[in-house]
Amino acid sequence: MSLSDIPWNQFGPINHFPTRQHLTSGLYPQHPHSPAFIDPGFSQISGTFYPPGQHSYFNMNALSTDEMETFQKLSNEFQANVQGPAVSTRQSSGAIAVEYANADPTFVTKTSALAVTHPLSRTMKGDGNCGWRAVAFGYFESLLGLQNLMQVHHELVRIKSLNVLLDQTGQQEHLYEIFVDATEGVFNQISEAIQNGIQDETFLVNAFNDEYNSNAIITHFRLLTSAWMKLNPHRYQAFLSLPLDQYCATRIDTVRTEIDEVGLQALVDGVIEASGFAVEIMYLDRSEGEVVTPHLLTPSRLSAATICLLYRPGHYDLLYPAEPTVNMEPVVNYQYAMTSNYSPWDQGSLAFDVNTSLMSIPNLMMDPSFGMAPSPMPAAPPSPYSVSPPLEVYHSPMHASPPPMSLASPPPPPRISAPPPPMSSLPPRSSDGPQIRLNPLVMKNNLCHSLPVTTPFKNSPYNQAHFQNQDFEPIHWEPSDSRR
């Protein structure tokens, strides 16, 4: 007897649908994003042919043609009972590390490092659209985060202009316009949120958790990706094991078919890259290293935002990198003596008569020519730059010849005994030596005669020659007065 003569079902029972006990005993991996392996959904198929409580062994030859057709229809329409929202809220990436706590040591190390470099994550529903949904949601979320109304309008116009690709590949406008309208509705919500100063992405999460809106947006992105690939076959055909048209029909256009590497690259090239956003994948695998392996799908350039995807075999989620820390240097105020909020000096502790308002000037006593001892101040040595007494006629000090300078010790700073009286005219100028233009306001006799005009006082608003003094008057001069 040959093998062809033996009935194909002679080797024992086949199509043994596993029960919940078998599924949870470690035969299949228990992954939170793969509940199809955990949920006993096969019972809806096997229950059609066997009453509850009976063993699910059956002979396929015993089925009639109608029963086989029914079986095939139920198999084609079977969908895993995936729980949870299509797009979750942001959560700590530490949950991923906890999930792999008892896994391979490589995963334990990488997920622990991932919780530090990317502390937040967002879970996508594992229904076959997670990769498409992650890219689409990341695109709109990045657009909302920029809070740039003009860029939102620019992106809306750009996405709608891609309808030309659909027209060039034979798509009918009355068939794809409902998907375009759903995408445009999200753009309008983002524009309204920016106008109202809303930065919370809750409305965006709700839009993607609405099954109709979410499926329409994903279908729109699928159609754009398929049209882009058909118009640029030279870029993708070499990476495919089947003709490009067949690949698009079975892996891109068909709903609930997970995106692969080639389709993801085409989605980024045709839809995302022109926005200026970067797209990066973090591969969680058993490759060497202590961190997840990054891969940039867009050209290396300065980007306004980055859509960061976490890839685990057959599933995509969103990651959010840690915010960069900015070391702020302490702010130092380099302005000098710009405030007059100083406590008045105690006049009784001084050995001379002084104007209290003048003594509130900072650093006045730090002037080297101002004596701190109670003894009388020593007389200043004669200097050709000293000013004559008030009753004498003021002469320009430039007419006097300077004495020979000694290299041993420089002369002390000049001391002005008292401000001169107001001048009726400026002193005559001479072509010898530097010319000094003095402000007549410094000659008023309303200043204290017992104090020298120190450098801090000259730079203080109490000086009437200072531009911040309320009585300050600039000098008016004519072009004919310019130096020759």
CA distance 46 to 51: 9
Label residue 48 by pLDDT band (50, 70, 90): very low
Domain interval for residue 294: 91-320
CA distance 309 to 122: 10
CA distance 14 to 392: 128
pLDDT in tens, 331-344: 555 554 455 555 55
Same domain? 268 vs 232: yes
Residue type, 206: N
> In this structure, is residue 327 part of a structural domain?
no
Nearest alpha-carbon partner for 369 in 417, 413, 418: 413
Same domain? 41 vs 147: no
Q: Can you give the pTM of this predicted structure?
A: 0.56
Name the more confident of 118 and 351: 118
Query: Is the C-alpha dihedral spanning 329, 335, 341, 346 positive or negative?
Result: positive
> In this structure, is residue 405 part of a structural domain?
no
Name the more confident of 244 and 71: 244
Same domain? 192 vs 282: yes
How many helices and strands (H and E) does the chain possess?
A: 16, 6
Task: Report helix, strand or coil for 474.
Answer: coil
> In this structure, is residue 455 part of a structural domain?
no
Q: In this predicted structure, what is the pLDDT of residue 197?
A: 94
Task: Report helix, strand or coil for 178.
Answer: helix
Which two tokens mark 472? 């300050």
Same domain? 158 vs 282: yes
Same domain? 362 vs 310: no
Label residue 25 by pLDDT band (50, 70, 90): very low
pLDDT in tens, 50-102: 444 444 444 556 678 887 778 677 766 655 566 789 999 999 999 999 999 99
> In this structure, is residue 326 part of a structural domain?
no
> In this structure, is residue 219 part of a structural domain?
yes
- If one counts every other C-beta atom within 10 angstroms of the C-beta of residue 188, the result is 11
- If one counts every other C-beta atom within 10 angstroms of the C-beta of residue 244, the result is 18
Label residue 18 by pLDDT band (50, 70, 90): very low
CA distance 396 to 429: 8
pLDDT at 321 over 70: yes
User: Do residues 353 and 443 touch, judged by C-beta distance below 8 A?
Assistant: no
Among the candidates 28, 43, 76, a domain finishes at 76
CATH (domain of 286)? 1.20.1300.20
Same domain? 253 vs 348: no
User: Do residues 309 and 317 touch, judged by C-beta distance below 8 A?
Assistant: yes
Name the more confident of 349 and 304: 304
DSSP 430: -
> In this structure, is residue 457 part of a structural domain?
no
Same domain? 137 vs 40: no
Same domain? 122 vs 224: yes
Same domain? 314 vs 344: no
Pairing type for strands 278-283 and 293-296 reads antiparallel
Which two tokens mark 474? 């600039």
Q: In this predicted structure, what is the pLDDT of residue 142?
A: 97
pLDDT at 21 over 50: no
DSSP 423: P
What's the number of domains the chain is made of? Answer: 3
> In this structure, is residue 30 part of a structural domain?
yes
Same domain? 349 vs 242: no
Which residues on neighbouring strands pair with residue 87, listed in sequence order?
124
Size (the chain), residues: 484
Q: In this predicted structure, what is the pLDDT of residue 131?
A: 96
Nearest alpha-carbon partner for 222 in 257, 187, 188: 257
Cβ contacts of 415 within 8 Å, gap of 6 or more: 369, 380, 386, 452
Which phi and psi (to 5°) does residue 381 adopt?
-65, 155
Same domain? 60 vs 146: no
> In this structure, is residue 427 part of a structural domain?
no
Same domain? 212 vs 358: no
Write out the DSSP string of 268-290: IIIIIGGGT-EEEEEE-SS-SSS
